[in-house]
Chain A
Amino acid sequence: MSEEDVKEEIKKLRNEIASLKEQLREVQERRKEKGYKFYIDISNNIRESVEDVLESVAESIHGELVKSIFIGPRGVKIIKGKVSEKEEATVDFSKTAEIMNALSHEHRLKILKELMSGGKYVNELQEKLPEITTSTLLSHLKILEEAGLVVQEKVRGRYLITMPGRTAYRMAFKVARFVEESDLE
């Protein structure tokens, strides 16, 4: 898909939004005519906010595509940014140390492993990890949550692994594999 095609797609999407807005306006007009029950027309305020978000999303997608995709004669190539020496020098390891600390228990690694397949309730984790008592499990989950590796939904109560949590688990998995292979040698 060329840059022109992307622009064309965005143009089409904008036209669709305009058409939907028009349809919505017509529906509202028809409903006004019926004259029963009530609603509050604060829609302009909210509709504009939502439209702003959607437009900024469309523009950002366009910007990201232009920045990161090179379309050459042999097809599409994804351009990956390299870590510069300057970036490497300014890395803050304190958060990393906190994450490493959270990973430094077999039970916590097992919990992350279970969460890799999707969000789980405490009782589901307990079924999967019967060797850990409820209180210990909750204590481990608290440590993982404080390190930002898991997050708990407040309404449903499920625990979910976060993006840093997934990365940390993959790293731990690679280290485990490396150690196993080294032991074999």
Chain B
Amino acid sequence: MIWHNYQLDDTVQKVREATTLWKAEKGIIEISKDTLVVLIKANDHKIGCVFHGDGKLILDTIIETNEGAIGKPIEKEIEKPFIMIGNIEQVLKNLIVANRQDLAKKGYVEEREFIERAEDLCKRLLGESTKVHGCDTFEQGVIFAFTSGEISGLDMLITKNSKIVYKTRNMTFISNKNKIVLKIPGKTVVSNDGKSIFLNA
């Protein structure tokens, strides 16, 4: 199971109660009770998790301009496995070992199936050649990678303090306080404190 400097834990756990993984002015990611969890470790440090359960992503990809608001809030049920890399203290406090019934709820017969799926997802995020570097860069930041339908690409949410980058196949949302770039099919909006430029493709 060792893959470069990463290692997935060989025990599948679950969260005892609903947990908020990320909460900011513009977004929230929550997972429900009994969501399956496999830890991602690097040299014995727990650096992230792969989850599979009933989660929810809410993100206000809205730009408030002097000419009116543009964009819509995103509200997605996260039913497929997804990755979180970053501070997982809140999750660690809340874990117990998952049993066969918990695995069966998500269609797994045994632990190995979920771990293999988690491994595959990690490879899709990090690629075969990516390595772990010694660095404190990511202490306050969080990366989320979600499976997006049948498409091979992943939807990414990267956030650190007030900075957010959300990238899907059809949209890119970059936000840092009042500075926002929103790119949707046919349109790009660049806004700084209400003053905006609209570009039509």
Contact = CB atoms under 8 A, between A and B. Distances in A.
A37 B73 contact: no
Nearest to A29: B133
B134 A161 contact: no
B126 A40 contact: yes
Interface in B1-55: 24-28, 42-43, 45, 47-48
Interface in A42-63: 42, 45-46, 49-50, 53-54, 56-57, 60-61
A28 B131 CA distance: 13
Residue in A53, A119, A166 whose Cβ sees the most chain B Cβ within 10 Å = A53
Contacts of B190: 57
A38 B132 contact: yes
Contacts of B68: 160-167
Interface stretch (A13-21, A122-130, A148-156, A171-179): A148-156
B134 A37 contact: yes
Given A46-B158, A163-B67, A154 B73 contact: yes
B70 A61 contact: no
A167 B132 CA distance: 52
Interface residues of A, number: 39
Interface in A132-165: 151-156, 160-165
Given A53-B172, A164-B68, A42 B135 contact: no
Given A38-B45, A57-B190, A153-B60, A46 B75 contact: no
Given A38-B47, A151-B69, A64 B199 contact: yes
A38 B43 CA distance: 9
Nearest to B182: A53
B201 interface: yes
Nearest to B153: A45
Interface string B118-132: 000000011000111
Nearest to A151: B69
Given A42-B126, A50-B172, A61-B197, A151 B133 contact: no
Question: In the complex, which of the residues A152, A153, A154 has the most CB atoms of chain B within 10 Å of its own CB atom?
Answer: A154
A31 B69 contact: no
Contact of A39 (B62, B69, B138): B138
Contacts of B25: 155-156
Given A32-B133, A42-B126, A50 B165 contact: yes
A40 B133 CA distance: 7
A155 B175 CA distance: 15
B148 interface: no
- Which 7 residue pairs of A and B lie closest in terms of their CB atoms, listed nearest first? A35-B134, A163-B68, A39-B138, A160-B69, A60-B199, A31-B135, A154-B73
Given A36-B136, A151-B72, 19 more contacts: A31-B134, A32-B135, A34-B135, A37-B45, A38-B43, A40-B47, A41-B133, A42-B143, A50-B167, A56-B183, A57-B181, A60-B201, A154-B75, A155-B25, A156-B25, A160-B68, A161-B69, A162-B68, A166-B67
